[in-house]
Amino acid sequence: MELLGKGKSLAASAAKADMDEKTARKYRELGNLPSEIKVEHSWRTREDPFAEVWEEVKEKLKINPGLEAKTLFEDLQRRYPGRFADGQLRTLQRQKRCFSPKYTSLGSYVNRILRT
């Protein structure tokens, strides 16, 4: 979009930036770059499928911090048949990763190092 200031047409600038003319026009009128306009969202797009069982998962992680999310997920699928679809494994993996590091295997390792 720098080409606009150098006397190039909007079409030429948009082509050089590999974007549609309407998109280039929008950014020119806003006076901001796309990276400056992007807003991070903090809302959930759907309800948490593990909200009702998360306390159970946390207890298992406290007892055995080395448990993998896949093992936890398979256990949940066994105990709650039909409730969790295979595609929800990744959600559990993300939630486990965000869970307090002191209950994860890496956190236990770090805590052991800090105590010595």
Better pLDDT: 2 or 48? 48
The closest of 47, 68, 46 to 57, measured between CA atoms, is: 68
Contact yes or no for 76/95 (Cβ under 8 A): no
For 42-53, what is the mean pLDDT?
Answer: 88
62-103 pLDDT, tens digit each = 898 889 999 999 999 999 999 999 999 999 999 898 876 554
What lies within 8 Å, CB to CB, of 67 at 6+ separation is: 60, 61
